[in-house]
C-alpha cells in the first residue's frame, strides 16, 4: 500500500502489466459492472442519512441549481454540483465499490522487507488504503468538505483509487458517477432521507456489498 500511495507518477513496474488470463479476475470484473452503481448510491444515501447536516448542505446546493420541480439537470449545471460530487467521492472512500486491485508481477520486488517473486498476484486492498491516518485526516469520518477546492484536508492523491488508475481503470466510472448524481439529486431535492437502524458495514465478496439491507425512510419535502 505504501508503494501505491507514495509513488509520484503512475509509470511504475505495476502499471505496465500485461492483460491477465486468470479466469477468476476476469469473472470478477464482469460482475463488478452490475452492482457498483447500486451499492455506491446506497452507501451515499446511508452516509447522508447518518449525517443530516451534510444532507441539508447538499439540498441547498441542489435547489440553487434546480429551484423548481420542473427544472432538469443539464450538462452544464451537472458539473456545477461540487458538493454532491464531494459527497460521492467521500462515500466511495469509506465504502469503495470493489475490494481492491490486482496485478501479476512481471519482476521480483521487495515490499516492506519481503521479497515477492515474479508471477505473484499482488492485491492492494482499497478500504485499508483509503482509511489510513497518514494519508487522510480523520479517515473514518464522513467529511465531504475535504474534496472541495482549497481544502487542506484533501487525501493523498494515490491513496484514493476507487476505480483504479491508468489505462486499465474501470471503464464505467464516469457512467457510475453520472448515474449517481442524477439519482441522488432527484431524491434529495424531493425527499429527506433518514435511517434509524443498526450501522451498515461492508461485506467483501466479488464486489463490496452492504452487510445489511438499506432500509431508508423518505420524507417528502
The Cα–Cα gap between 46 and 51 comes to 9
| Residue list for the binding site for heme | 170
Domains: count for the chain: 1
Residue 91 lies in a domain: yes
Cα–Cα distance for residue pair 155/137, rounded to 1 Å: 7
Structural domain span for residue 54: 33-220
CATH number of the domain bearing residue 151: 1.10.630.10
Distance (Å, whole) CA 160 – CA 90 = 10
What are the pLDDT digits (tens) for 183-205? 999 999 999 999 999 999 998 87
**Is residue 61 in some structural domain?**
yes
Read off the pTM.
0.79
**What 3-state DSSP class applies to 37?**
helix
Assess if residue 24 is contained within a domain.
no
Task: Answer whether residue 16 is part of any domain.
Answer: no
Who's near 47: CB < 8 A, 6+ residues apart? 54, 87, 90, 91, 94, 142
Indicate whether 12 belongs to any domain: no
Q: How confident is the model at residue 155 (pLDDT cuts 50, 70, 90)?
A: confident
What span, in angstroms and rounded, lies between the C-alpha atoms of 206 and 89? 21
Known binding site: residues? 170
Evaluate if residue 117 carries a pLDDT over 50. Answer: yes
Amino acid at each position: 500500500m505504501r508503494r501505491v500511495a507514495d509513488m509520484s507518477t503512475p509509470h511504475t513496474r505495476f502499471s505496465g502489466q500485461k492483460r491477465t488470463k486468470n479466469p477468476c479476475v476476469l469473472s470478477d470484473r464482469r460482475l463488478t459492472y452490475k452492482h457498483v452503481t447500486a451499492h455506491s448510491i446506497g452507501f451515499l444515501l446511508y452516509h447522508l442519512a447518518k449525517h443530516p447536516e451534510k444532507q441539508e448542505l447538499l439540498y441547498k446546493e441542489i435547489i440553487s441549481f434546480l429551484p423548481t420541480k420542473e427544472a432538469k439537470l443539464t450538462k452544464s449545471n451537472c458539473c456545477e454540483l461540487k458538493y454532491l460530487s464531494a459527497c460521492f467521492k467521500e462515500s466511495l472512500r469509506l465504502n469503495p465499490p470493489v475490494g481492491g486491485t490486482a496485478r501479476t508481477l512481471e519482476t521480483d520486488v521487495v515490499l516492506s522487507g519481503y521479497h515477492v517473486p515474479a508471477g505473484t498476484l499482488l492485491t492492494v486492498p482499497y478500504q485499508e488504503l483509503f482509511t489510513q491516518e497518514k494519508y487522510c485526516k480523520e479517515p473514518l469520518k464522513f467529511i465531504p468538505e475535504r474534496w472541495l477546492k482549497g481544502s487542506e484536508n484533501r487525501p493523498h492523491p494515490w491513496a484514493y483509487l476507487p476505480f483504479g488508475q491508468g489505462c486499465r481503470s474501470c471503464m464505467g466510472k464516469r457512467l457510475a458517477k453520472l448515474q449517481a448524481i442524477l439519482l441522488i439529486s432527484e431524491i434529495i431535492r424531493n425527499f429527506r432521507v433518514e435511517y434509524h437502524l443498526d450501522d451498515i458495514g461492508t461485506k467483501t465478496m466479488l464486489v463490496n456489498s452492504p452487510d445489511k439491507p438499506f432500509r431508508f425512510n423518505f420524507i417528502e419535502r
